[in-house]
Amino acid sequence: MVKKLTLEELRKLYQFRDILERASVEFAVRHADDEEIWKLEELANVSIDTEGPEWIREYHRANTAFHIGMAALTQNDYLVDALRKVLNILQRDLIEDMKYIGVEKTLGAHKLIVEAIKARDLETALRISTEQINIIDRKTQIFLTAYASELTYHGQQDARYCINNE
C-alpha cells in the first residue's frame, strides 16, 4: 500500500527536489560540454502519445530520464541517488502534476531548460526549472481554496484530514 503524503511532506520533498535540481542545472550551465548538452537535448525531445495504453508509464520514464540525466552530469552519485529517491517517492504526485499542467507543457519545459543551458543562461534555466518544480505551491492553494468550506464544516485545522480521508 502506498502511503499518502501530507501537504507538509509534499512541500518538503518538492523543496528538496528544487535544491537538487538547481544544483544540477547550475552545473550543466557552467560545465556541460557540447556532447553532454546534445544528450540532454535528446532526452528533452521525447514525445509521448497520450492515446497509448502505457502513456503514463512512458511519461514517468521520460521525465525521470531527463532529470536524472541532468543530475548525472555532476558525476556526483549522492546527488543522483537523492534525486532518484525523491522522484520515486513523488511518482504518483508527479503524474498528477502532469495531468494538471499537461504533457506538452511539462515536456516543453525540458526543452526550454536545455535551450537556456546551451545559451549558458543560468538565470533562465533556474527560473524554468524552479517554476516546473514549484507547482506544489499552486496545487496547495487550489486544494486549500477548494476544501476551505469542508475544513470549516468538519472543524479541521489540518488539511491532512482531507488528503488522508478522501
Tell me which residues of the chain have a pLDDT lower than 50. 149, 151-166
CA angle at residue 69 from 64 to 75, to 5 degrees? 130
Q: What is the pLDDT of residue 144?
A: 56
Give residue 56's pLDDT.
Answer: 82
- Identify the three-state secondary structure at position 52: coil
**CA–CA gap between residue 156 and residue 137 (Å, rounded):** 21
Answer yes or no: are the C-beta atoms of 130 and 14 closer than 8 Å.
no
Distance CA 59, CA 50 (A): 9
pLDDT at 20: 97
Q: What is the pLDDT of residue 128?
A: 95
Q: Give tens-digit pLDDT for 82-91.
A: 999 999 888 8
Read off the C-alpha cell for 88. 520515486
| Dihedral sign (CA 137, 79, 4, 48) | positive
